[in-house]
Amino acid sequence: MNQAVIHVHPSGPLLALVGNPNCGKTALFNLLTGSRQKVANYAGVTVERKEGRFTTPAGKTLRVLDLPGAYSLYPRSPDERVTCDVLFGRATGEKRPDLVVCVVDATNLRRNLRLALAVKRLGLPCVVALNMADLAESRGIRIDPDALAAELGMPVVSTVAIKRAGVESLLELFDDQAVWRTASPASPSVHDAGDHVAVRNILQRLGLDDVVPHTPSDRIDAVVLHPVVGPVLLAFVLFLIFQAVFAWAEVPMTMIEDATTGLGQLVSSALPDGMLRSLLVDGVIAGAGGVLVFLPQIVILYFFILVLEESGYLPRAAFLLDRLMGSVGLSGRSFIPLLSSFACAIPGIMAARTIANPRDRLVTIMIAPLMTCSARLPVYALLIGAFVPQRELWGVLELQGVVLLGLYFAGIVGAMAVAWILKHFTSAGRQVRPLMMELPSYHVPTVRNVAIGIWQRITIFVKRVGGIILFLTVALWVLATFPSPPDGATEPAIEYSYAGRMGKALSTVFEPIGFNWQISVALVPGLAAREVAVSALGTVYSLSAEDEEEAAKELTPVISQTWSLATAFSLLAWYVFAPQCLATLAAVKRETGGWKMPIIMAVYLFGLAYLASFLTYRAAVWLGLG
């Protein structure tokens, strides 16, 4: 997920949403802005930046930033540092907010109000959004917003962001000019201890300092975090995800395939035989269509990740896996960045910034590419669809889904093995670091938030198809088309082209692991973006065809007829460990501050991929599958 840096001009009223993690801040942001938001990076760092716009009842258009979650104004992670930089006016290319909305979890005032008081000390105009008010009331926590406002010295609005309750009152408050005026002079320093005492006194005066009784989340956690039931439930959830990626995506994938084939036939019938028709049909349509067909599987994967994140289950999964992660020298905090890497390694690498320990953060970054990102799905789906039959196991399991799960598991095992090696060969890796993290209350995922998250990822994926993937596909078509074959040539034209010559040269390197020259050609643009490998294969085999009827065939039956099982298994093994795409290496360079770590990553991943493919291919040949 490659995101451009946005340089913002300090013009127009700017509103910033600030709050602890899991306070409902992003839900409020989505409610205010809807689809009028954009995701990028802050200048100079890889921390995600979300900006949107909305209009107040009086017609005032406001810009709003969803700042990364923070517990205090003493930054302990890159996320918190960005939030502090924006609030202090130190963020590159960003003006200081004109108004801050402190989103407070009404079920945990003791912790959340400390940040609100710290922000107020900065001299910024502040408003408190008392979020999750309905949940607090259901637990017997009755908060008088007016009384709390009097204690805090700033307006307080009770909200339930996931149900839109209280948002109208908040919007009306933004039209009050008095709210935008600084209420207190800036303090030269921020004292967490002083804020803690102030919050305790406020809660005592409001009669809210009693211990909160056991909640429904506690009763659910008795099952979810059970030492036996918990891991079994987690394994079942992960297995369900991988089954759904294949089972649910079959119909929409077929529809996209039919649409792509129909479009190619339409263009072929409308244009005379020549370079233009070849470019459009064999290059653009075959290339872009060959990647778009896997969009349903990627959407399904993102859907499950977003639902797990929205529900509050992901931190529990991290807790369950802490002992396992500790066995390889990491903590449960590495789980969420690694799980994010299943969608794309870049956000996974970015998510590692929440890990305070520098050594753990670096190791997490270095093994994140071993998680099976969605860019591998097109390759996996192509090969599994071509060589693994559609068959049910025991009447309930889909064989193709089981194979896909096995490939994901191989990546996980590889990542844990690398982390284990680093644990035993570095002194810092042998240090014990206990896990301390917040377990948020369970929530029913909202359709709106999940839909917005999926739409953002679809947009990014389609832009990649229309941008770098389309560019590389067309570039490959040019290399595979020129120069023209000599007079009297008997082989397909591509074998005389630059791409053909390059493939023949590379095939000497990849021949020991069973790759032919067509695969060797496809691996080169695949270094820029893994998804391109499928479209590259489509272009190469289309241009390698001896007649139009053969060129019109789908890629799946072509490779199933021309490749051996040993070659297919070898290529699957290659992509479990394959060197990461260039965009990810660039992200690692930004995160680590130099090229040393990206170079080490590329070298060790290439070595792992070659070794895994070599062992897989030789074992398959020995078993008679070559």
- Characterize 135-172 residue by residue with b for buried, 16 or more Cβ atoms within 10 angstroms of its Cβ, and e for exposed: bbeebebebebeebbebbebbbbbbbbbeeebbeebbe
Q: Is the pLDDT of residue 189 over 60?
A: no
pLDDT tens track for 215-229? 677 788 888 888 889
| Tokens coding 32 | 């205010």
Mean pLDDT of 165-169: 76
Domain finish residue from 189, 213, 237: 213
Question: How many folded domains does the chain comprise?
Answer: 2
Beta bridge partners of 17: 66, 101
pLDDT of 516 over the 70 cut: yes
Give kind and range of the element (H or E) at residue 129. Answer: strand 126-131
- pLDDT, residue 8, reads 40
Question: For 35-40, what is the mean pLDDT?
Answer: 60
Look at residue 158 and tell me if it is in a domain.
yes
Question: Would residue 33 count as lying in a domain?
Answer: yes
Q: What is the pLDDT of residues 100-129, one digit of tens each?
A: 999 998 888 888 899 999 999 888 999 999
Asked if the structure places residue 474 within a domain, the reply is: yes
- Taking only the tens place, the pLDDT of each residue in 535-558 is 777 777 765 655 545 544 567 787
Residue 240 has pLDDT above 90, yes or no: no
Q: Among residues 156, 182, 213, which one ends one of the domains?
A: 213
**What one-character-per-residue DSSP string does 190-252 give?**
--HHHHHHHHHHHHHHTT--SPPPP-HHHHHHHHHT-TTHHHHHHHHHHHHHHHHHHHTTHHH
pTM of the model: 0.59
111 within some domain = yes
**pLDDT > 60? residue 45:** no
- Tens digits of per-residue pLDDT, 423-454? 777 655 555 555 556 677 787 888 888 888 88
Is residue 606 assigned to a domain?
no
Question: For residue 548, what pLDDT is reported?
Answer: 47
Distance between CA atoms of 285 and 518, rounded to whole angstroms? 19
**What does the pLDDT look like over 479-505, one tens digit per residue?**
777 887 787 777 766 777 887 788 888
Cα–Cα distance between 31 and 25 in angstroms, integer?
Answer: 10
| pLDDT tier, 513 (very low <50, low <70, confident <90, very high otherwise) | very high
Give the pLDDT confidence score for residue 15 in this predicted structure. Answer: 93
- Evaluate whether residue 492 is within a structural domain: yes
Least confident of 291-300, 405-414, 423-432: 423-432
More confident residue, 621 or 464: 621
> Considering 163, 197, 213, which residue would you say is the last residue of a domain?
213
Structural contact between residues 120 and 184, judged by C-beta atoms closer than 8 angstroms: yes
How much of the chain, in percent, has pLDDT values that exceed 70?
80
Highest-pLDDT range among 175-189, 193-207, 330-344: 193-207
pLDDT at 465: 57
Domain span at residue 190? 14-213
Q: What is the CATH number of the domain that holds 77?
A: 3.40.50.300
Give a yes or no: residue 285 inside a domain: no
Three-state DSSP state, 385:
helix
Tell me if 140 sits within 8 A of 474, measured CB to CB.
Answer: no
Among 47-51, 62-66, 91-95, 534-538, top mean pLDDT goes to 62-66
Q: 20, 228, 195, 202: which is closest to 121 by C-alpha?
A: 195
- Nearest Cα to Cα of residue 88 among 101, 108, 74, 102: 74
What pLDDT score was predicted for residue 616? 92
> Is the confidence at residue 46, as pLDDT, over 50?
no
In-domain check, residue 53: yes
**In a 3-state reduction of DSSP, which class is residue 64?**
strand
User: 492 with 545: CB under 8 angstroms?
Assistant: yes
At 468 the pLDDT is: 62
pLDDT recorded at residue 404: 81
